[in-house]
Amino acid sequence: MAQSRLEKIGTIFTRVTGLLKSGAMKPEDKPLWYEVYAAFPPNLEPKFDRPIPNIKLKKIFYEEDVIRSHYHKINKGRDTINLKDLKSRTQCQQYIDIYNNLKSQGALDEEKIREVAYEMLQDKIKVETESNDNVIENVAHADLNKNSTHVVNVKDLFKE
Residue 12 lies in a domain: yes
Residue 137 lies in a domain: yes
Write down the pLDDT at residue 1: 41
160 contacts: CB under 8 Å, gap ≥ 6: none
Q: What is the DSSP string of 89-122?
A: PPHHHHHHHHHHHHHHHT-S-HHHHHHHHHHHHH
Write down the pLDDT at residue 18: 93
Write down the pLDDT at residue 16: 93
Residue 82 lies in a domain: yes
Q: Are residues 75 and 41 in the same domain?
A: no
Write down the pLDDT at residue 146: 56
Domain that holds residue 115: 63-147
The tally of CA atoms less than 13 A away on the side-chain side of residue 2 is 0
Q: Are residues 79 and 100 in the same domain?
A: yes
Q: Are residues 42 and 69 in the same domain?
A: no
Write down the pLDDT at residue 86: 85
Write down the pLDDT at residue 7: 60
Overall number of domains in the chain = 2
Residue 34 lies in a domain: yes
Q: What is the mean pLDDT of each run of 10 residues along the chain (160 residues)?
A: 59 91 94 94 83 86 88 80 85 91 85 90 86 68 56 70
Q: Are residues 74 and 133 in the same domain?
A: yes
